[in-house]
Every structure is written in C-alpha cells, then in structure tokens.
Amino acid sequence: MELSKQDESRDGRADVDDHLIVPLSNQVVNILGVLHGFSGTGIYVFPGLRTKERPMSENAVLAALRRLGIPKEEMCGHGFRATARTILREQLKIEPEYIELELGHQVIDPNGRAYNRASLLPERKLLMQEWANCLDKLKSSKDVPSLRPVPLTDIRLIQVAGYRN
C-alpha cells in the first residue's frame, strides 16, 4: 500500500513545509489495513468518488459532517486540526514545537527557519500514539471533557495548573 499526498493548496505558502512526514500510531496502521480493502492499490487512502486518480474533496468531508447532523457553525473539516491542537497542548501537555511540526507548520526559532531543520520524528511518533490513545479513551468514555477554557483568576490556581508563558 503506497500512501502519498501532495496538497496543491499548500504550494508556495511560507508557513508550511514542502514535504510532511506523519508518523502513524498503531491504531491508524490497523485502520489503514482495513481501508486498503476499500481503496485498493491506488495512491490515495481516500480516493475521489468519480476517479481514483484524485483524492476525496474537502467538500466530501463537509457533506459527511452535515449528514451526521453537525451544523456548519459547529464544525468544519479543518476544525479537527484546531481541536487536536487544543487537546494536545492543554490536556496532553505536548510541547507546541512538536504539535506545529506535526501539523506541517514551520517552527520559527530565534535562529530562524534556515538553521532549524529538525523533524523530531521520534517525539512526533509518541505524540501521535498519545493522541490515538486519547481518542480511544474519549470513544469509550461517557464523560467528554469540555474544551472551553476555565477562567483562573487566583494566581495560586494558575501556579498549581503549571501555567507557563
């Protein structure tokens, strides 16, 4: 099974890497094995409906969300990235640098991008495994945590929560 994707909407953007390597969790490898039966030998895991030569469109994801009864004011396809970014940082305490690299964003450091070519693949592999484990826990739990921030007005609470600026 060959997995490949070139996202033409990213071409020429300064805030994204040209080549994104995404480590896969054990759960995703298992899911991809099942999906292979549907996608066959094509290069896309989610091929287009009309032709396997193109990936499934962004509108297909939006249509699926609407069929599930999720209104556009509540979630869009890109919203999953924002949700993941929030949970990874706030709940799982993953370092922002790892998250940004995993999302395909360039990480700017004091020396600039020219000198920072780190991929941090071992750390990102752990990040993806933690994320998959978190999703498994959410799936099996009846208690879904609120993603709305709780205002902390007492400085002691902020210190106990481990807030860093």
Residue 30 has pLDDT above 90, yes or no: yes
The secondary structure of residue 113, as a DSSP letter, is G
- Specify the pTM: 0.69
Residue 19 lies in a domain: yes
Higher pLDDT, 6 or 31: 31
Residue 90 lies in a domain: yes
pLDDT of residue 145: 61
Residue 98 lies in a domain: yes
Residue 127 has pLDDT above 80, yes or no: yes
Residue 61 lies in a domain: no
CA triplet 5, 96, 19: central angle to 5 degrees? 20
Residue 26 has pLDDT above 90, yes or no: yes
Residue 51 near residue 39 (C-beta atoms within 8 A):
no
- Name the packing angle between helices 79-90 and 121-140 (round to 10°): 100
Tokens linked to 39: 């996608």
Residue 57 has pLDDT above 70, yes or no: yes
pLDDT of residue 10: 47
* Count of structural domains, the chain: 1
Residue 133 lies in a domain: yes
pLDDT of residue 156: 46
How far apart are the C-alpha atoms of 55 and 72, rounded to whole Å? Answer: 22
Q: Which residue has the tokens 């993603």?
A: 147
For 87-121, the three-class secondary structure string (H helix, E strand, C coil) is HHHHCCCCCHHHHHHHCCECCCCCCCHHHCCCCCH
Q: Which pLDDT band, with edges at 50, 70 and 90, does 21 fall under?
A: confident
Q: What is the mean pLDDT of residues 125-150?
A: 81
Residue 72 lies in a domain: no
The secondary structure of residue 9, as a DSSP letter, is G
Q: Which pLDDT band, with edges at 50, 70 and 90, does 124 fall under?
A: very high
| Total residues belonging to the chain | 165
Q: What is the mean pLDDT of residues 28-35?
A: 91
Q: Which domain holds residue 116?
A: 8-45+78-160
Residue 110 lies in a domain: yes
Residue 54 lies in a domain: no
pLDDT digit string, tens, across residues 62-118: 999 999 998 888 888 888 899 999 999 998 999 998 899 999 887 766 666 666 677
